[in-house]
Structure 1
Amino acid sequence: MVKLSREIFLFAVGGVGGLIIDAGIVQLLVSLAGWNPYLARVLSFVTAATFTWWWSRHYTFASRQSNRSAHAEWLHWMGLMSIGAVINYGVYALLLLNFSILYRWPAIGAAAGSAVAAFVNFVAARKLLFKSPKAST
């Protein structure tokens, strides 16, 4: 139970880092570069998901392995996270569609979407990718 609690805590820390990256990029692209907030979110999400994969690989699930090369593991991570991404992006889009002020503050929508999808992402990562304990050396 302690190990699971530690993994949940570290996943949350990585998630906060990913959220900062995600929200920061989407906000910068919309506010400073004039990007469409829907398109900007795609780039911000891919960048943030890459960070959270790296974090999870090195910290959250450091005692687990995927039995895949780094590239294959990243691809599998992105595939699994696409489930959370659909939930994440759906919440984001619904909020933007229903609250026009969020066009000026898309980071709020990004944060809400990330929070809703976090549980799904943790379970998918732990049960479907980093499912094998690392062998003791």
Structure 2
Amino acid sequence: MFEAPPPRPLRTQLLRFGVAGVLGLGVDTAVLYALMALGLPFVWARGFSFVAAASFTWAFNRRLTFAAGMSVPPTWREWSHYLLAMAGGGVANYTVSVATYQWWPLVQAYPVLALALGSAVGMVFNFVSARYWVFRPPR
């Protein structure tokens, strides 16, 4: 039927998850700019670009990052769980970046630190939720 490949080491999964994120940013940006060029307001274009980027990273991560746990074909439920997990990471990213900017004078002087800290927390949240919830191996 559909046989899963052997498990990948954690380090390999993290690297591939990072690659998926960078490529997903490219998808996100391209879709956002294309929709805005077609006249869609930013708020709507951003929603569609998020779904496009998250869908791309779901497919990438399912096939290349967490393939060892995938002994079944993809489902709408798995895709929706992935979108929810990535939105959760976005909330974590935003919360950490805003909180550190408001309460840490060094970050107020260098706002890029707020972005970096928020992104790091969001990526960890997204990786853990993808690995242990969305793409967890069957029991």
Which residue does the alignment assign to 1:24?
A: 30
Secondary structure of residue in 1 paired with 2:39: coil
Equivalents in 2 of 1:61, 1:42: separation in Å? 26
Structure with larger Rg: 2
- The alpha-carbon deviation at position 130 of structure 1 amounts to 1.8
What is the CA-CA distance between 1:124 and the residue it aligns to? 0.7
CA distance in 2, matches of 1:125, 1:83: 11
- State the Cα deviation string for residues 14-54 of structure 1 (Å, max 9, x = none): 11111100011112222x22332222110000011011110
Task: Report the TM-score when normalising by structure 1.
Answer: 0.67
Distance 1:82 1:66, change over 3 A: farther
Q: CA deviation at 1:76?
A: 1.6
8 Å contact kept, 1:66–1:130: no
Q: In structure 2, the residue corresponding to 1:132 is in which secondary structure?
A: coil
Relative contact order, higher structure (CA 8 A, sep 6+): 1
Q: How many residues in Structure 1 have an aligned counterpart in Structure 2?
A: 113
Aligned equivalent of 1:45, options 35, 45, 50: 50
Counterpart in the other structure of 2:133: 128
Q: What is the root-mean-square deviation in Å for CA atoms of aligned residues? A: 3.0
2:18 aligned to which of 12, 15, 36: 12
Query: Which blocks of at least 5 consecutive residues in structure 1 are unaligned?
Result: 95-110
SS in 2 for 1:63: helix
Superposition TM-score, scaled by structure 2 size: 0.66
CA distance in 1 between counterparts of 2:33 and 2:91 reads: 20
